[in-house]
Structure 1
């Protein structure tokens, strides 16, 4: 029987690659061969991507309106388009599915030029700029939130809400019940800034924890993802505050660490919110303040409105305020437990199956 292949295209960050990996795992279970087109940034996350092959396609983001910069970007996208077209002619996929970011532009546009069916998936509550452009002609548009802001009117008839799929490693911890902190017991706090870490948390969190009441501070164990250049200073800050801390630039067992946490402090990227709600853990979300279209703020607000966590703007988050908020939350195990339950109720664990169903429909029947 001829191998049925589907090509996935994703920007090279965890926010794009993780849901693509979830779909790749589900499609493999259904007998498809999966290949991935991405960019150079994927090295940290793409090495374990469940694909038969991973291709790097040239791409670029429009970061300036100057004529020279625009021409340079268009030139690189053009190179990516030609390389993507040659790749598609070689791989001959039944469908191409994009997960956002400008690296999805060349493969999706090349697929359209060759008459290969296409679909895009939007992880955030606000349509990303690359996806907004591609939604003009993609055969299908899969959404994680309803409603999704900035969805083109012309794309509404082709749009379906699937949710944001999570990897098998995340879904496995949905069965692990949340256990609130016991009186006088350890308090496990997990801090991470998305797949690439956050300098802001390295500066603000230890200063806040240092100001917390001693009975709470002595009970703390902090697990924090931190940029390599901040590691030494952060380790010293926790040592001076006499707080037990486990620090690393990247945790490959992040789903397990989320499941073990009593409270999570994190950015509000779409994959972060999807994984928190799939496992069901209470979170204090601090959206990236300069994110395009305020997508992280929108994601965090949706979680807060559902009662699954709290949203605090970075501009409002002084060490004093963060210390008071953490003392309030960590001192209220019943509140944490209720919030964990509401977070879990938001989790769409069937998202990957819904997305895979659309992918199979796009690929067409087995001949």
Structure 2
């Protein structure tokens, strides 16, 4: 029997949001099937999502960024980044990984820098249509780059020849629903509303506005599953009870894959992981990208889908709640439009992305 303790390590670095972590989760699972040991380095912000992460060792590292901070806070940020590098160097020496894979977010910086300094090969996976700042920096000394979407706006134009369009990996729980069909029932119209792994106060306000434009008979046919901030839960529950709308409100859905499958229409942000998971299952979507982000990644992601008639997109800064309620009614009453959006968005999904990234990693290892 093969001694697993002798199997080589691959280091995975991801953090900052559930989106980065979910892609890493899927690839980690694939690598372990291939008898690699996996060590994950991440930050405390995703600690509550780590319970079932498929890794042999999970390390929480100090991390920070200088972005969007006043200069007076830079010294503290520098100390945290330096400590993150020290901790990363220790675990690279301890695990001696054959390869380090970064999935974006500033917590991935120090583990990949440490790996490169100590002689390990590194690859990065960029989930968005626009390179994030961490991946943009790392791209200049990465041994390989894989992409979740075909890029239209890169900081790393000089590296385009070294990139591989693979698609974004998604969780096994999502793949279970890729071929399952959901029958539309006009008396039980499932709406899924969520703002990413950490919720969004904006969607609480939006829901309050858009549901005031529907006739009562339509409201009684809705089943709303909505993710929101903890502090908004009671407000939304009271509002939906007042409107006689069946509802399930929570700050986090551990059964999100099933809720995506059961939904008839989805209203959400446009993070790369969210888009990729919905694309596997295939649902009519209204995307409202997070505005004013540093890189404009969500806006770029969403418009990429819109150009292919795979989603409906609204800008948060100029949004009209009545238009959204009318669009929902239009989708409810237009079976062909729902099916067209569902069919087109599935073209962006890649169920084999995890295996392809694992293949790519093994080719880099040699």
**Aligned partner of 2:82 among 78, 85, 94:** 78
2:347 partner SS:
helix
Q: Residue 64 of structure 1 contacts residue 70 of structure 1 at CA under 8 Å; is this kept in 2?
A: no
Deviation at 1:361, TM superposition (A): 1.7
Unaligned runs of at least 5 residues, structure 2: none
1:96 partner SS:
strand
**Aligned partner of 1:266 among 259, 263, 268:** 268
1:191 partner SS:
strand
* Paired position in structure 2 for 1:253: 255
**Aligned partner of 1:353 among 344, 351, 355:** 355
Deviation at 1:28, TM superposition (A): 1.3
Q: TM-score, normalised by structure 2?
A: 0.95
Q: Residue 187 of structure 2 contacts residue 222 of structure 2 at CA under 8 Å; is this kept in 1?
A: no
**Aligned partner of 2:218 among 216, 219, 223:** 216
Deviation at 1:59, TM superposition (A): 1.0
Q: Deviations over 1:161-204 (max 9, x none)?
A: 1111101111111011243x24x431110110011111111111
* Paired position in structure 2 for 1:88: 92
| Residue range with higher mean Cα deviation, 75-84 or 227-236 | 75-84
Count of aligned positions: 362
Q: Deviations over 1:57-77 (max 9, x none)?
A: 111111357554333322321
Q: TM-score, normalised by structure 1?
A: 0.95
Say whether residues 1:326 and 2:328 are aligned partners.
yes
Q: Residue 22 of structure 2 contacts residue 273 of structure 2 at CA under 8 Å; is this kept in 1?
A: yes
Q: Residue 115 of structure 2 contacts residue 121 of structure 2 at CA under 8 Å; is this kept in 1?
A: yes
**Aligned partner of 1:38 among 35, 42, 45:** 42
Q: Deviations over 1:283-328 (max 9, x none)?
A: 1000001222110011111111222211111122232222212111
Deviation at 1:125, TM superposition (A): 0.6
Residue 66 to residue 201, structure 1, CA distance change in 2 (3 Å) = closer
Q: Deviations over 1:134-184 (max 9, x none)?
A: 1111111111111242241332232111111101111111011243x24x4
* Paired position in structure 2 for 1:135: 139
Say whether residues 1:101 and 2:111 are aligned partners.
no
Say whether residues 1:54 and 2:46 are aligned partners.
no
* Paired position in structure 2 for 1:166: 170
**Aligned partner of 1:146 among 108, 128, 150:** 150
Unaligned runs of at least 5 residues, structure 1: none
* Paired position in structure 2 for 1:302: 304
Task: Work out the CA distance in 2 between the residues paired with 1:157 and 1:249.
Answer: 42
Deviation at 1:219, TM superposition (A): 0.8
1:346 partner SS:
coil
Task: Work out the CA distance in 1 between the residues paired with 2:87 and 2:348.
Answer: 40
